Chain A
Amino acid sequence: MTQITAESQRKFLFPIIALLIGFPLLRHYGGIFATGTPFTALDSAFLIPIVPILIFPVIAILGQWYAGEEWWRERFKEGGMIALGALAITLSLTVWLAIEFFTKGGTCSDEVILAKEACEAGGAEWIPALFAGFGNWFSFDVIRMQDGGSWALESDAFGIGMWIDNVSLTLLFVAAFLCFLICWFSLGYMNTDPINKDRNHRFYAEFVLFSAGMLGMVLADSFLWLFIFWEIMGLCSYLLIGFYYERPSAAYAAKKAFLTTRVGDVFLLIGLLMLYDIYGSLDFAVVFDDPSTGVGGAIVSAGAVKGAMLMLFIGAVGKSAQFPLHVWLPDAMEGPTPVSALIHAATMVNAGLYLVARMVPFFDVGHGGVEGIGDIGILIAWIGGITAFMAALIAFVQNDIKKVLAYSTMSQLAYIFTGLGVSLWLFNNGHHHAGALAFGAAMFHLFNHAMAKGMLFMASGSVIHEMHHAHHEAHDGDSEDHDDFDAQDMRNMGGLASKLPITSTAMAIGCASIIGLPLIGGFWSKEGIIAETWAATALHGETWLLFPAFLILLTAGMTGFYMTRMWMMTFAGKPKTEYAANAHEQTPWIPTPLVTLSTISLVGGITLAWLGATHWLGDGEALGHAIHADGYAASLLNTISHAFLPDDFFILLVTWTAIAISLVVGPAAAMKIHGGRLAKGESAPRLIAWILPLSTKFGKADVTELAESGFADALHRRLFFDEWYDALVAKTMIPISAAMAWFDKRVIDGAIKGIEWGSIRLSMNLRKVTTGSASDYILMAVVGGISILILLWGVI
Chain B
Amino acid sequence: MIPAMYLAGLGAILFCLGLVGVFTNKNGIIVLMCVEIMLNAVNLNFIAGALHYGDVTGWVFATIAIAIAAAEVAVGLAIFLALFGERKTIVLDEIMRLKH
Contacts and interface: CB of A to CB of B under 8 A. Distances in A.
B98 A775 contact: no
A138 B92 CA distance: 74
A771 to B, nearest CB: 6
B19 A773 contact: no
A792 interface: no
B19 A782 contact: yes
A779 B19 CA distance: 9
Interface in B57-76: none
User: Binding site of B, secondary structure by majority: helix, strand, loop or mixed?
Assistant: loop
A772 B96 CA distance: 5
- Chain B residues touching A, range: 10 to 19
A774 B98 contact: yes
B99 A771 contact: yes
B23 A773 contact: no
Contacts of A770: 98-99
B44 to A, nearest CB: 20
Contacts of A143: none
A777 interface: yes
A775 B22 contact: yes
Nearest to A770: B99
A778 interface: yes
B88 interface: no
Interface string A358-370: 0000000000000
Interface residues of A, number: 10
Interface in B69-100: 92-93, 95-100
Contacts of A777: 98
Contacts of A773: 92-93, 96, 98
B31 interface: yes
A773 B92 CA distance: 7
Contact of A772 (B19, B22, B23, B100): B100
* Residue in A770, A772, A774, A778 whose Cβ sees the most chain B Cβ within 10 Å: A774
Contacts of A774: 31, 92, 95, 98
Interface string B10-32: 00000000010011011000010
Interface in B20-52: 22-23, 25-26, 31
A681 B97 CA distance: 105
A772 B97 contact: yes
Nearest to B19: A782
B93 to A, nearest CB: 6
A785 to B, nearest CB: 11
A773 B97 CA distance: 8
Contact of B92 (A775, A779, A782): A775
Contacts of A778: 22-23
Contacts of B25: 775
A771 B22 contact: no
Nearest to A779: B23
A580 B10 CA distance: 119
Contact of A775 (B31, B97, B99, B100): B31
Contacts of B98: 770, 772-774, 777
A641 B67 CA distance: 124
Leading 3 A-B pairs by shortest Cβ distance: A772-B99, A772-B96, A772-B98
17 contacts: A770-B98, A771-B96, A772-B97, A772-B99, A773-B92, A773-B93, A774-B31, A774-B92, A774-B98, A775-B22, A775-B23, A775-B25, A775-B26, A775-B93, A777-B98, A778-B22, A779-B23
Interface of A: 770-775, 777-779, 782
Given A771-B99, A773-B96, A774-B31, 6 more contacts: A770-B98, A772-B97, A775-B22, A775-B25, A775-B26, A782-B19
